[in-house]
Structure 1
């Protein structure tokens, strides 16, 4: 009976990954809120020009679904990971789905205009976001499989 109730001890790296994930996804949540509520003002403050703002404003309404899943799935997944909940796996899976759909849209279906040289590294961000989302899903799945997540 005690074996059934026993769970794995929480490894130190769960707290590290959880906190870093929450910081990372928290910034994504901040960016989401600022972009959707302040719009052009926030984008200009972030260094985007007229062509990038026009591109964003022309984004089809259906793209808000993967964007929302990607951002808020990661925030919720991070919180669930820190709470040692097995539901973190599902939240990170939704986040990865959103990130991959957003990546496909922005890189293959409707690429954005070229960024100014000072923002050129941002062209890699959709790949970085998808890789981090994949890592977080793998990590949560591994922790759930080991019995660390309940």
Structure 2
């Protein structure tokens, strides 16, 4: 019995597993932060100042909602990459919508950047934006190439 040769298009590229795995680990940190904050886990929240706690606990419902979209959209997108699903692109798109809303709340409507640490928060925000957009572009490219179905 001879086996059929496997075409290059039938196997996902190795970088899909690397990007998918690393993005899931990265986005799991965001999910952990979101969950610990929303559930107000004392052991986690004790790392913040009183002013930072007031800031977190004062989020309006819409700000919590867009934060959730950003975090859980990104986690779903990472899972979608690992499952080779084209909806990963949509999930990462939703995470961008969430990041836009969260950024507007933090940087425009409140003094969140200063409250949370100033320049280091801005640097982290830039990194977050680059990774989020990069994952969207990557998932879009993989979907267009037929790697994600």
Q: TM-score, normalised by structure 2?
A: 0.85
User: What's the CA shift for 1:136?
Assistant: 0.5
Task: Give the unaligned 5+ runs of structure 1.
Answer: 1-5
Partners of 1:40 and 1:148 in 2: how far apart? 43
Partners of 2:144 and 2:9 in 1: how far apart? 11
Query: Alignment partner of 1:114: what SS?
Result: helix
Contact 2:20–2:79 (CA under 8 A) maintained in structure 1: yes
Q: TM-score, normalised by structure 1?
A: 0.85
Q: Deviations over 1:79-120 (max 9, x none)?
A: 011000001001000001101211122111212263587x85
Distance change in 2, residues 1:109/1:82 (3 Å): same
1:62 equivalenced with 2:62 (yes/no) = yes
Task: Give the structure 2 partner of residue 44 of structure 1.
Answer: 46
Task: Identify the range of structure 1 (23-32 vs 34-43) with the bigger mean alpha-carbon deviation.
Answer: 34-43
Distance change in 2, residues 1:113/1:147 (3 Å): closer
Contact 2:85–2:148 (CA under 8 A) maintained in structure 1: yes
Instruction: Identify which of 8, 20, 42 aligns with 1:18.
Output: 20
Distance change in 2, residues 1:54/1:113 (3 Å): farther
Task: Give the structure 2 partner of residue 33 of structure 1.
Answer: 35
